[in-house]
């Protein structure tokens, strides 16, 4: 065995010394690209599997109280191991006598949220929570159109909830393991553009914006990606959604969005 290993080492050394540097460079680049491509393919398959086996959480209660959740896969709860660990599931736990209506869909951009809100008809809600924008980052939705769509979404949501709306923006595309390292910088710059637009529109529309961990220095998804991201390297894990929910709960308390039901944070992932 040792002789075989020594022979392989000599063969590799001979190949390196006898091959021109530009051929070695080209082969090295090819191997690196192949590795990145295979890794991306594996994560893409994982993402497709998780998305297809993930249903948005809704609950029905014998009560006039109701909360509406709309948006993309982060509003659906894709990546969580169980619906009870999603934002919708956690709200249902802390508002057990409130109906949770979740109309979110995987892959939705801001424009799609308009249709989601329209599908519930003329119903009104105690609170409307909208988690969107991530797909518009990498889909390169024109900023002018994105502004128009977001204004439409927020105005309609305010009419349906007596102005009790929370807008969530998850700014972690640039740190998600799903994306190859070489393009994360570009995604982060694009994320900053979309985030700034969300902040401006939310301010103008007087809707509270929960900007989820876009500061890398204070971002648990950057500090501990294995724990915060799901297996697909793109969506939040159970622990990731719990981080979201703690910040959401605090914002709702500050805005006076809680109502008579007794609610206690008692979930520990």
Q: What is the DSSP string of 38-99?
A: HHHHHHHHHHHHHHHT-----B--SSS-EEEEEESHHHHTTT-SSGGGSHHHHHHHHSTTSE
Q: Pick from 33, 55, 36, 54: which is nearest to 44 by CA?
A: 36
CA distance linking residue 178 with residue 226, whole number of Å: 12
CA distance linking residue 166 with residue 141, whole number of Å: 22
Return the H-helix or E-strand segment holding 101.
Answer: strand 99-102
- If one counts every other C-beta atom within 10 angstroms of the C-beta of residue 216, the result is 14
- CA 127 → CA 137, 171, 172, 207, 210, distances in Å? 26, 23, 25, 12, 15
As a dihedral over the C-alpha atoms of residue 262, residue 90, residue 268, residue 82, rounded to 10 degrees, the angle is 150
Token digits of residue 48: 């497709």
Distance from the first to the final alpha carbon of the chain: 48
As a dihedral over the C-alpha atoms of residue 245, residue 140, residue 227, residue 198, rounded to 10 degrees, the angle is -30
Q: What's the pLDDT score for residue 53? A: 47
Asked if residues 172 and 221 have their Cβ atoms less than 8 Å apart, the reply is: yes
- CA 8 → CA 4, 19, 20, distances in Å? 6, 16, 20
Burial of 88 (0-12, 13-18, 19+ CB in 10 A): buried
**Residue-by-residue pLDDT tens, the chain, 269 positions:** 544 444 445 444 444 555 565 554 555 455 444 444 444 444 344 444 444 545 566 766 656 789 999 999 999 999 899 999 999 999 999 998 899 999 999 989 999 999 999 999 889 999 999 999 988 987 889 999 999 999 999 999 999 999 999 999 986 665 666 566 666 667 778 888 999 999 999 999 999 999 866 566 777 777 888 888 888 777 889 999 999 899 999 999 999 998 766 444 443 33
Q: What pTM was computed for the model?
A: 0.74
């Amino acid at each position: 065995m040792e002789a075989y290993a020594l022979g392989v080492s000599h063969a590799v050394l001979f190949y390196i010394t006898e091959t021109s540097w530009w051929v070695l460079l080209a082969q090295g680049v090819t191997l690196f690209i192949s590795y990145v491509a295979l890794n991306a393919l594996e994560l893409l398959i994982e993402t497709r599997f998780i998305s297809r086996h993930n249903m948005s959480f809704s609950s029905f209660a014998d009560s006039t109280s109701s909360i509406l959740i709309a948006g993309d896969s982060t509003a659906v709860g894709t990546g969580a191991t169980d619906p009870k660990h999603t934002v919708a599931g956690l709200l249902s736990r802390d508002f057990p006598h409130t109906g949770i209506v979740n109309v979110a869909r995987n892959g939705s951009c801001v424009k799609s949220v308009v249709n989601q809100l329209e599908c519930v008809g003329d119903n009104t809600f105690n609170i409307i929570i909208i988690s969107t924008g991530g797909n518009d980052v990498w889909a390169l939705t024109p900023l002018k159109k994105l502004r128009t769509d977001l204004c439409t979404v927020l105005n309609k949501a305010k009419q349906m909830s007596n102005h009790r709306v929370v807008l969530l923006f998850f700014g972690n595309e640039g740190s998600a393991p799903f994306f190859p390292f070489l393009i994360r910088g570009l995604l982060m710059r694009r994320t900053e553009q979309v985030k700034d637009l969300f902040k401006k529109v939310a301010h103008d529309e007087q809707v509270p914006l929960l900007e989820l961990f876009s500061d890398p220095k204070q971002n648990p998804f950057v500090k501990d990606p294995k724990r915060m991201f799901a297996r697909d390297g793109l969506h939040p894990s159970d622990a990731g959604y719990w981080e979201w929910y703690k910040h959401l709960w605090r914002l709702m308390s500050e805005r006076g969005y809680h109502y008579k039901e007794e609610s206690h944070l008692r979930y520990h992932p």
